[in-house]
Amino acid sequence: MIRVGIIGFGKMGRIRAEAIESDGRGEVLSVYEPKGLDNSIPYHLAESPDQIINNPDIDAIFICTPNYLNMPYTIQGLKENKHVFCEKPPAFNADEVKRIIEIENTYGKKLMYGFNHRHHTSIQYMKELIESGKYGNILWMRGRYGKSVDQTFFDNWRANKQQAGSGILLDQGIHMLDLFLYLGGGFDEVKSFVSNLYWKLDAIEDNAFVILRNTKTGMVASLHSTMTQWRHLFSLEVFLEKGYLVLNGLKTSSGTYGEEVLSIAKNRTTAPAATWKDEEKIKYDINTSWEHEVQHFFYSIQYNSDICIGNSSDALKVMRIIDKIYEDDK
């Protein structure tokens, strides 16, 4: 049995606890929440993060905290010989991730990041189809990921640069960038426009428009990450030489992104290459991504196998892209 401590027992901490318990290979021993918890919580209530990280009875920690705490708690956990699962973003920039990787390599414990969208069944199927070669090589990808916030956003740690690091790109757009890398591979050229025209928060962008290119293959991807999307939206389009895969909507814990539907079509030899009636549509009514993430993490611990999805190398790749996005906008 893998004994777990959770640092940060808000919404995400509770989601992780439920997935851990349902897996059957782990048990939550202790949780910490800075805002305090009542005695109805069925776990030991730690008085500080250190009380979890330094507990010799705990094998693994889940870090579900504001962004600025992710890096220090990850390093502290690894140094205390704990396996670590940390929510995104891994840190504020690529150099910080490099430092984490040095610690990871020194202590040899498992480190996994919560790039949760990779674990959606729809994304896994898209990955399978792309790798099969059935539709040829990827020509281009387009991702739109947006939400709206209200005035209460100003009371949230996400509106504080010291705690959040930056705005919507690091908060939500990072998921779409990670999917671009997961499905299409790397990019070495970046063009971007980052703005805060509406909420006007210093260094907390409310929109990021990004163009990425792999200069070796010619594949291009475009991203719009926004928190002025007054109707929540998720859309990922992958167009290949012989067809396309379009995922609209996403089953999330908030339930605000609509139905998750994957549309697939193969090119025909005559124009138009595909029509609406040619599409195969697959609807995903259940989100099992939280469970799949925990399964992958626990399997790696149990069998001392590599983290294949959401490892520190993946984290470094996406943070290098994010660094380039902010640099290009400057």
**Residue 26 near residue 4 (C-beta atoms within 8 A):** yes
Q: Is residue 135 domain-shared with residue 281, that is, in the same domain?
A: yes
> How much is the mean pLDDT over the chain?
96
**Residue 37 near residue 31 (C-beta atoms within 8 A):** yes
Q: Is residue 6 domain-shared with residue 90, that is, in the same domain?
A: yes
Query: pTM of the full predicted structure?
Result: 0.96
Q: Is the pLDDT of residue 319 over 90?
A: yes
CATH of the domain at 277: 3.30.360.10
| Secondary structure class of 78 (helix, strand, coil) | helix
pLDDT for the residue numbered 62: 98
> Higher-confidence residue: 57 or 40?
57
Distances (CA, A) of 226 to 12, 237, 254: 21, 17, 17
Residue carrying the six token digits 């962004």 = 67
**Residue 12 near residue 66 (C-beta atoms within 8 A):** no
Q: Is residue 280 domain-shared with residue 299, that is, in the same domain?
A: no
Q: Which of 228, 210, 216 is nearest to 141 (CA)?
A: 210
Which whole number is the average pLDDT over 117-132?
98
pLDDT for the residue numbered 197: 96
Which whole number is the average pLDDT over 319-326?
98
How many structural domains compose the chain? 2
Distances (CA, A) of 105 to 36, 109, 298: 34, 8, 19
* Predicted confidence (pLDDT) per residue in 186-226, tens digit: 999 999 999 999 999 989 999 999 999 999 999 999 999 99
* Predicted confidence (pLDDT) per residue in 12-25, tens digit: 999 999 999 999 99
Segment holding 225, helix H or strand E:
strand 220-226
pLDDT for the residue numbered 157: 96
Give the Cα separation of 80 and 77 in Å (integer).
Answer: 5
Q: Which domain holds residue 96?
A: 2-116+291-306
**Residue 297 near residue 311 (C-beta atoms within 8 A):** no
| Secondary structure class of 323 (helix, strand, coil) | helix
* Predicted confidence (pLDDT) per residue in 148-169, tens digit: 999 999 999 999 999 999 999 9
Q: Is residue 7 domain-shared with residue 78, that is, in the same domain?
A: yes
Residue 273, judged by CB atoms within 10 A of its CB (0-12, 13-18, 19+), counts as: middle
pLDDT band per the 50, 70, 90 thresholds, residue 273:
confident
Q: Is residue 133 domain-shared with residue 267, that is, in the same domain?
A: yes
Q: Is the pLDDT of residue 276 over 90?
A: no
* Predicted confidence (pLDDT) per residue in 90-114, tens digit: 999 999 999 999 999 999 999 999 9
Q: Which of 270, 306, 261, 246 is nearest to 105 (CA)?
A: 306
In-domain check, residue 183: yes
* Percent of the chain predicted with pLDDT > 70: 100
